[in-house]
A and B are shown apart, each in its own frame.
Chain A
Amino acid sequence: MSVQIQSLTRHAPNASRKMLDDVSLSIEDGAFVALVGPSGAGKTTLLRTIAGLDGPYEGTVLVDGRTLAGRPMRERRIGFVFQNYALFRHMTVARNIAFGLDVLPRRERPDRGAIAGRVAELLELIQLPMLGDAYPDQLSGGQRQRVALARALATKPGLLLLDEPFGALDPIVRRQIRRWLRGLHDQLGLTTVLVTHDHDEALEVADRLVVMQNGRIVQEAPAEMLDTAPATPFVMEFLGEALEFSGRIVDGWFLPDDSNVLSFHVGGGVDDGLVTALLRPYETRLVAGEGRGRAIPLAGGSGGLRRLKVELGTREVEILLVTDQVGLFGRDHVALDIGRARLFRDDRALQHISLRPPEPGHGKQRHNGTVTDSV
């Protein structure tokens, strides 16, 4: 099922603050979309509005081209999973799952046998076939999560809305469940909208990420694109650790304010002026013999990367370097190459720069014209 949202605005109750501010979003049939952002960004509010919960709003929300208002729930075909599962404590797992079928009007309700069959099928699907008679209190967090999902799926929804569904689970279970969920999405041909504040989770499971901040959509893009071409510094920082260098553009070159950071060529078409350069700590390189910076390896590191502290003179930054290259550098007389940085001016990306593929070899330095052994 598709979802079209046009200029959706919602006010906080009894306050002028906007919880959603002119949000427009289009979710095509079969998509797996993640709404990400810090807490208070409006993700859950947006999800609840799509579901038809909560009070009035301005703008339009169309599901499969129609508004939801006034249509009975069973016709809307929306499954919703709450952050805290919201299972019915006094009912068994089987009754929980069957609830959406049990409350259908008599002429639409399947007979008892059919409902029991559907419950068994769903218990099989969530890989808990033996737990139909258990009560929610007797289940682990991951099991409750799956029961909540089965309950939402019992009425065969076309649109599945998930509000921080993995929030309370430990990391291993989280990983398993989200992979399983993605498989389920593909298998059942669902349209899924997932709310999460964990960008790694969103990157792993969703086709497309919608980054929200202060009730607005900041950027909406496929996962890879968000990282190569973030629309604002916020998006860049939200998606992971980022180093920030201020500087200015002169004649197509970025000149950093910090000493011992190499300037780099950004090509023509960028107006001279102040810019901010952002890049990931693992996208930096050290250049030996080019400056008076000092690189000091720090304890710890993972995934073959080692953390180093680089003293630039006026300030220090922490970078990540492939472990076997750490030893290649003397501790003194290094410069930092930030040629893969994305550039921002007035809180917006300088588009044509950030779209440049992040290939090695852009870190040429300007002042003496020779390329030193950059790594």
Chain B
Amino acid sequence: MGGPSRGGNAVLVACTYLTVLAVLVLPVLLVMVEALRAGLGAAWRSLLDPDALSAIRLTLEVTLVAVIVNTVGGVMAAWLVTKYRFRGRAALVALIELPISVSPVIAGLVWLLLFGRQGWWGDWLDRHHIQIAFATPGILLATLFVTFPYVARTLMPLMEQQGREAEEAAFLLGAGFWRTLWRVTLPDARWALLSGILLTTARAIGEFGAVSVVSGHIPGLTETMPLHIETLYNGYQTVAAFAMAALLALIAMATVLLRSFLEHDFRKASS
């Protein structure tokens, strides 16, 4: 409780707040200001442009599918690596985390390499008139890859700590695999699961790199919100670009805020 340390603390706290302000809050504020430069009406009208609406719809569709698929897959992956011990488990854990460490551009390139016109399976897909690269399926695949780790990663520490006993108890009381998962394991992990889903959502909405590579940037067709922002900005439509950016930022912030609120509640409930 000495005087010097208290002074030092104050400086440290001030520095932290300044950094947060400059790095995290300021950009968002600037985006808002730019979006509203020509007034709220202009910003709103720019969002009602058909290409803008198409981008919003595509983003929401891809996000929805990615969240559903990755929630199911993430739960299964987390279950497998935390509740069972098997050969190659450590490698699987590393693989789950791979999308976090690999640059999204590479993730996009891989899908192009496989499904693009010059890619390995390009000829075959072309002959059967299946379009993956430069179309919605490609965007979805890229998003799936990039957002896969989040549900699994948030569940794993919790499931590890849960241990096997509650599930064994459920099994011995006559509950089968699915019922145990549905009534024992997941309800117990519900806050972590929700947190993972929200993280996945935020990441899926905002994904740029991987999607940019596979989508081909066709306005009104294969542009998601982040891609559309880039197109608008490069076309000097500043207000429209920033209006879309502001919307994206708001959605992302809402999910993150929701998550931190839930996490706060969860801590309180578990203490």
Could you list which residues of chain A lie within 8 angstroms of chain B, going by C-beta atoms? 13, 51-53, 72-74, 78-80, 82, 84, 86-91, 99-100, 103-104, 151-152, 154-155
Q: Which 5 A-B pairs have the closest CB atoms?
A: A86-B165, A100-B173, A73-B174, A86-B169, A103-B175
A90 touches B173 (CB 8 A): no
B165 touches A80 (CB 8 A): no
Number of A-B contacts (CB under 8 A): 58
Residue in B closest to A72 when the chains form the complex, CB atoms = B174
Q: Is B179 an interface residue, CB under 8 A from the partner?
A: yes
B residues in contact with A13, CB < 8 Å: 85
Contact residue among A51, A89, A91 (Cβ-Cβ distance under 8 Å from B172): A51
A86 touches B179 (CB 8 A): no
Q: Is B53 an interface residue, CB under 8 A from the partner?
A: no
Residue in B closest to A98 when the chains form the complex, CB atoms = B173
Q: Tell me whether A73 and B173 are in contact in the complex, defined as CB-CB below 8 angstroms, given that A88-B188, A103-B179 are known contacts.
A: yes
Bound Cα distance from A78 to B173, whole angstroms: 8
Q: Name A's interface SS.
A: loop
Interface centre among A53, A72, A90 (most CB of B within 10 A): A90
Q: Please encode chain B, from 7 to 40, with 1 for each CB lying within 8 Å of some chain A CB and 0 for all others.
A: 0000000000000000000000000000000000
Residue in A closest to B165 when the chains form the complex, CB atoms = A86
B184 touches A82 (CB 8 A): no
B residues in contact with A154, CB < 8 Å: 173
B residues in contact with A74, CB < 8 Å: 174
Q: Is B170 an interface residue, CB under 8 A from the partner?
A: yes
Interface residue total, chain B, C-beta cutoff 8 A:
18
Q: Is B168 an interface residue, CB under 8 A from the partner?
A: yes
B171 touches A73 (CB 8 A): yes
A residues in contact with B171, CB < 8 Å: 53, 73
A residues in contact with B85, CB < 8 Å: 13
Residue in A closest to B85 when the chains form the complex, CB atoms = A13
A88 touches B166 (CB 8 A): yes
A99 touches B168 (CB 8 A): no
A residues in contact with B168, CB < 8 Å: 53, 80, 82, 86
A241 to chain B, nearest CB (A): 34
Q: Tell me whether A155 and B169 are in contact in the complex, defined as CB-CB below 8 angstroms, given that A13-B85, A88-B184, A90-B187 are known contacts.
A: no
Bound Cα distance from A90 to B192, whole angstroms: 14
Residue in B closest to A79 when the chains form the complex, CB atoms = B172
B188 to chain A, nearest CB (A): 5
A residues in contact with B183, CB < 8 Å: 103
Interface centre among B85, B176, B183, B190 (most CB of A within 10 A): B183
Q: Tell me whether A103 and B173 are in contact in the complex, defined as CB-CB below 8 angstroms, given that A13-B85, A89-B188, A90-B187 are known contacts.
A: yes
25 residue pairs of the A-B complex, CB under 8 angstroms, read: A53-B168, A53-B171, A53-B172, A73-B172, A73-B173, A80-B168, A82-B168, A86-B165, A86-B168, A86-B169, A87-B166, A87-B169, A88-B166, A88-B170, A88-B184, A88-B187, A99-B170, A100-B174, A103-B173, A103-B174, A103-B176, A103-B183, A151-B169, A155-B173, A155-B174
Q: Tell me whether A84 and B175 are in contact in the complex, defined as CB-CB below 8 angstroms, given that A13-B85, A90-B187 are known contacts.
A: no
Bound Cα distance from A73 to B168, whole angstroms: 12
Q: Please encode chain B, from 155 to 182, with 1 for each CB lying within 8 Å of some chain A CB and 0 for all others.
A: 0000000000110111111111001000
